[in-house]
Amino acid sequence: MIQIGIDYYPEHWDASLWEKDLAQMEAIGVSCVRVAEFAWAKLEPQEGSFDFAWLDEAVEAIARHGMKVILCTPTNCPPDWLYRQYPDCLQWNTEQGPTYTGIRGHRCQSSPVFRGHVERIVSALAQRYANHPAVYAWQLDNEIETNQCVCPSCREKFQAWCREKYGTLENLNRCWGTDVWSGQYSDWSQLRPHTKLAGYQIGWYNPAYILDWERFGASVTAEYAAFQAGIIRRYKPDAIITTNACFSPVNQTDLHLEFQSLNVAAYDNYPPVRLPEDSEEVYSAAFGLDLIRGLKRKNFWILEQLGGPGGCWGPMAPNLEPGMLEGYALQAVAHGADLVSFFRWRTAVSGAEMFCHGLLDHSGKPNRRLRELCQAVQTLQKHPYLDKTTLVSPVALLYGANQAFALRNQRQSDGFRYWTQPQLLHEACGNLGVNVDVIEEAQSLAGYHVVLVPVHTVVNAKTVENLYAFARDGGTVVLTDRCGVKNEYGNCIGGEELPTVFAALAGCHVEEYDPIGQQKQEILGKNGKTYAITSWCDLLQCDSAEPIARYLGRYYDGTPAITKNSYGKGCVYYIGTVGEKAMYRDLLLEIFRALGIAVQEQLPRGVEITTRSGEGGTYRFTFNNTAAPVCFPLGGEEIRLKPLEMRIDVM
């Protein structure tokens, strides 16, 4: 069975309400309850003096109702007494001193002093609960973002990390290219953490240094998660441990690295409540879900699923449209979620998130959203073997934290974002009914027929090698603009035309490029169609490749924009620009047809199809991810779907 969970904060409510809440959850068919996420102060009101009575009672009550517990380490919210007594636990945003806004999450993940306190609270929890029969799994901390702290401890660790990586300062200076602007370092102590100084744009700094600073932060975060997991495993070696990742283009860590020490990949899924009117905007949550499944190439969990309108730090978001709560939860399942836990049961009546709504409003009375949750559970109960299936994908899409780090700090043109092209390619697959795995760039490509390589800017040697071998052996590779731009240190590869290391594979090179930013232009495909393009234009020169689309207008009218090359037994496409959705859809359709990959050609915009298969059977999920009803033919039938409606067909 796919498991349904609830994020519950017993410490926010009078214990007299617990019974009622848990009985209701049980009646709905909830199987697990996530607790204790931010409750450090309640668990350890004074240093070394624990109060587990309330949690014991909550765990027992959950168990009495036949549900399992996902227990959280509360380390995102150290108590006030701890910060006061041990200011070394605090995160520093500037080198002038710690940041303490009195809200949450301002701990330094690397501070040895903080780690000592983490060790105490996590050990105490693990000792008491790890072998409790009701405790099913553990969530570490909350949405652990890349460590950005610049405290003295982080500074020293950054210096040591650089020393370990580069050995000598000469080497570091060479690899970082510090000759520019007298940037040479002559002593390790000169290496400083990157502080976001007011008025200074990140683009002023040496990008190679910033890239390593980001990598260092991600390594601290991964090590912080591994440290916590290690404590729990001391008490229960086979504990199921995870953390709730979020998809944040601004401060996302290297999730692949972070989850290496954890047992299951897990995600907080908050899809948009207001669907954009611009049909070209990519908003589907599907990309994030496939990325999380790709972390372990296994099914995953949702630890926070949209349960009500948000409104914690900004104005309240619109309420969920009818169908949204159920549709989005089933969309997560369609992409491989085996457990979906909703954020949260009751809406808090106090604290910063009092208007960040859970399933129930402040009244606590059953409502439309709860009824939808019941419906989602009933839908899933009709398919009890779904958890014995997964997504088998003919297509891999490569993503890399290094690319995200490099590109978020150095926009390539006005409005250019790393995620745009991966998401456009990804969405086209879903709209053609083709499963796609979003995998870390250096992973094995065995078993795939097509590999999409959007914006592989920072060259990873292993990836390059894999791609050449993949095409040689008959695979199809799709490269895009900004591939092959930089070496592994984040400096431009000089002396070769773009796409440098990929040129032989693509059979073309970039003669000039035009970073057109928000401007709109057009290309004409060999298929006779014109497509709107924006953001970037590589003016391509074919070597062995043939052009399959050319620019229209400007001084490069007629210049190749998209090419196709034969390489070994395979085929390589190079997309030199950023197109409208139809461009990706038509191109991928041509590729899939040529390879005999089954496609659904007639899906309207915004309709996504994925298939889960395995021991438990084969299930086709058809999701209308738009605000309008749709009607279309599928497998000889006329399908009608309401806004955000999911249809599950047993095949």
Residues identified as active-site:
143, 304
Among 88, 143, 586, 590, binds ligand GAL (CB under 6 A): 143
Nearer to ligand GAL, 104 or 236 (CB): 104
Calpha distance 446→450 (Å, rounded) = 11
Nearer to ligand GAL, 357 or 482 (CB): 357
Residue type, 254: D
By CB under 6 A, residue 304 contacts ligand GAL: yes
Nearer to ligand GAL, 343 or 573 (CB): 343
Calpha distance 373→307 (Å, rounded) = 9
Helix, strand, coil percent values for the chain (each to nearest 5): 35, 25, 40
CB of 244 to ligand GAL, least distance (A): 6
Query: At 480, phi and psi to the nearest 5?
Result: -130, 175
Binding to ligand GAL (CB under 6 A): which residues in 257-286?
Answer: 268
Distances (CA, A) of 473 to 40, 437, 546, 573: 54, 20, 20, 16
Q: Between helices 152-166 and 169-176, what is the axis angle to 10°?
A: 90
CB atoms within 10 A of CB 555: 9
- Structure-token match 């190439």, residue found: 297
Calpha distance 462→459 (Å, rounded) = 9
CB of 315 to ligand GAL, least distance (A): 13
CB of 224 to ligand GAL, least distance (A): 17
Binding to ligand GAL (CB under 6 A): which residues in 163-222?
Answer: none
Nearest to 447 by CA among 393, 406, 501: 393
Calpha distance 573→382 (Å, rounded) = 43
CB of 77 to ligand GAL, least distance (A): 10
Largest CA distance in the chain: 75
Among 217, 310, 475, 560, binds ligand GAL (CB under 6 A): 310
Nearer to ligand GAL, 142 or 521 (CB): 142
CB of 270 to ligand GAL, least distance (A): 6
Binding to ligand GAL (CB under 6 A): which residues in 480-519?
Answer: none
Among the residue ranges 94-102, 271-279, 304-312, 441-449, the one whose residues contact ligand GAL (CB under 6 A): 304-312
Calpha distance 351→349 (Å, rounded) = 7
Residue type, 102: G
Binding to ligand GAL (CB under 6 A): which residues in 561-620?
Answer: none
The DSSP code for 238 is T
Number of amino acids touching ligand GAL (CB under 6 A)? 10
Binding to ligand GAL (CB under 6 A): which residues in 221-260?
Answer: 246
CB of 1 to ligand GAL, least distance (A): 25
CB of 38 to ligand GAL, least distance (A): 7
Exposed, middle or buried: residue 179 (CB in 10 Å: 0-12, 13-18, 19+)? exposed
| CA angle centred on 77, ends 74 and 82, rounded to 5° | 105
The DSSP code for 145 is P
Bridge partners of 565?
A: 572
Binding to ligand GAL (CB under 6 A): which residues in 335-374?
Answer: 343, 353, 356
Bridge partners of 607?
A: 624
By CB under 6 A, residue 312 contacts ligand GAL: yes
The residues near 545 (Cβ < 8 Å, ≥ 6 apart) are 506, 507, 508, 563, 564, 565, 572, 574
By CB under 6 A, residue 142 contacts ligand GAL: yes
CB of 39 to ligand GAL, least distance (A): 12
The residues near 214 (Cβ < 8 Å, ≥ 6 apart) are 146, 405, 409
Nearest to 485 by CA among 557, 576, 395: 576
CB of 360 to ligand GAL, least distance (A): 15
Helix H, strand E, coil C: the string for 369-413 is HHHHHHHHHHHHHCCCCHHHCEECCCEEEEECHHHHHHHHHCCCC
**Which residues bind to ligand GAL, rule: CB under 6 A?**
142-143, 246, 268, 304, 310, 312, 343, 353, 356
